[in-house]
Amino acid sequence: MDAETAYLFRHALLRDAVYQLMLPGVRAELHARVVEAAEQGPGLRLGAREIAGHARAAQEDAEPQTARRMRERERHWLRIASEKARARSDLAASQLMLERLLELERGTPDEFETRVALAEMLRETGQLARAEAMLEHARAVAGDDAARLPRVQGALASVYIRTGRLREAADLEQEVLRAHREAGNESAVSEALGTLGVVQYHLGDFARAEDCYRQACEAAAGQGDGSRLARFTANLALLLADAGRYDEAEQAQREAMRLAEQAGDRLALGNSVGNYALLLTNLERFDEAEDMYRRALQLEREVGHLPGYAVALANYGRLMRMMQRLDEAERLLQEAAGLHREVASARNEGSALGQLADLFAAQGRFDDALAYFNRGIERLAQAQDRMYEGVLRTGRGRLRLLLTDLAGAREDLARAQELLDEPTPESYRLLCLYPLQAYVAAASLEEGKPLQRVTAEVAQAAARYKAHPGFADQRDVNALLQELRRAESEGGEARLHFGRLLSQIPTGAIDALLERLADRHPALARKLRRLMEAAE
């Protein structure tokens, strides 16, 4: 259709008035003609979503035969429109198309696939409760169908991961992987391997996770699936960074971003950019990291990926804290925790709460810090995330020591040892567990434990770093050991406050700590002031 055969209305009000004056049957017939013209040739340049809209309008007050025909055309074009929206990472538009498509396909053989596809879109937009309900319905419909059951189980496993039911996700995804391998569905096998890698990563089994990711990458590359390869490579890079293999991690993250851009997958690109920003933060390349976080947040916002946006927001808050922009850090972390709660991501909410607790502890807001540690640990336990629950327990253990609660610190240490045991990577124990072991051992001096025995226990913790130099906490543990040995050789008193050197107590917390001790433990407050005066 060109300008000679189309009515052009320069004024929207005039166009709407003419449209409303048409008889309903005439309007329906004209909409049907638009659909037919669009399908017959390229002359009428309409998008799939617009054609679906005309097909829907053509069903109003139409003859039954025309209405049925237009209903089928609407289904056809909605499916195309949804796929195109997903391909350009427009999650909101894809969800809208699928919602209408499901209405049209209820009771048809296509309802199952549309229901699963909509549930997956709901998962990506953070509507996890509704997604799970839809998938449970689809699982009941699938029954023992060898093709349908693994399809819905794989989607359910991804929901379980987001909501923290990691053991359930692992068991389910193993079934999915086995079924797809038996069926010879290589594309589905690569997706199942990638999902299983995510589960094993969060369970702390980095060796199994890496094996799954590498198999998934190899399969996706062989299938020429750039989007999947980008996702799997980004997840592998995140694992490598957490394992302290930073050079490999940076190379993998750059490759993931390149693959995502090449595939035109903005959803995968947002994830890759956010992961790279996290790596740059850990490498203390703060200016580069901030630029990457801003880009990641923009991408996640544009595609409507609320869970990914919340993750990037929390990690950006962590960067702000490291850059000493504390008010901004608190604002970002609070917003992130709220968004994680909104999308029912207990694991990520727990992590954000833990970061806020650390921030409050460093500022001397001890009651707030304890409350947030408690909430974070509770959320992570609900999410079955042993690794990060262990990390938060070591953080709370340090705070309890600072507040002279040695029994509470020992309780957290004992539980953290269980949670961070094998197969959790050694890097997590080096960062969190071994320092707390050293501080708790040194704090036992307050109970009258012999200095020589305490020094030996701290030396044992320090020795764990010999094969893994470069960890920041190694310096603190070595400084503690040096002070104990000085006191031992001089026959004097170790200048410590419940296992910590004064230099290891956050500057912003000193005054609040002295005030708290003066109210509750005056003798300890006097001792701490004496040590501070001696240090000056």
Taking only the tens place, the pLDDT of each residue in 128-137 is: 889 999 999 9
Cα–Cα distance between 40 and 54 in angstroms, integer? 15
Label each residue of 202-259 as H, E or C: HHCCHHHHHHHHHHHHHHHHHHCCHHHHHHHHHHHHHHHHHCCCHHHHHHHHHHHHHH
Residue 459: its H or E element? helix 451-463
Indicate the SS3 state at residue 338. Answer: helix
Record the tokens describing residue 134, joined without a space: 């839809």
Record the tokens describing residue 231, joined without a space: 């996702």
Give the rounded percent of residues in the chain with a pLDDT score beyond 90.
67
Record the tokens describing residue 133, joined without a space: 């309900």
Q: How far is CA 21 from the centre of its chain?
A: 53
| AA letter at 394 | T
Sign of CA dihedral 182, 183, 186, 189: negative
Q: CB of 463 within 8 A of CB of 489?
A: no
Q: Phi-psi bin for 535: left (phi > 0), alpha (psi -120 to 50), beta?
A: alpha
pLDDT of residue 499: 93
Cα–Cα distance between 48 and 84 in angstroms, integer? 8
Name the stretches of the chain with pLDDT < 50: 1-10, 14-15, 18-19, 21
pLDDT of residue 344: 78
Half-sphere exposure of 375 (CA within 13 A, CB side): 19
Q: CB of 383 within 8 A of CB of 164?
A: yes
pLDDT of residue 11: 52
Cα–Cα distance between 25 and 456 in angstroms, integer? 92
pTM of the model: 0.78
Record the tokens describing residue 74, joined without a space: 């609407």
Closest CA to 126 of 379, 304, 312, 381: 304
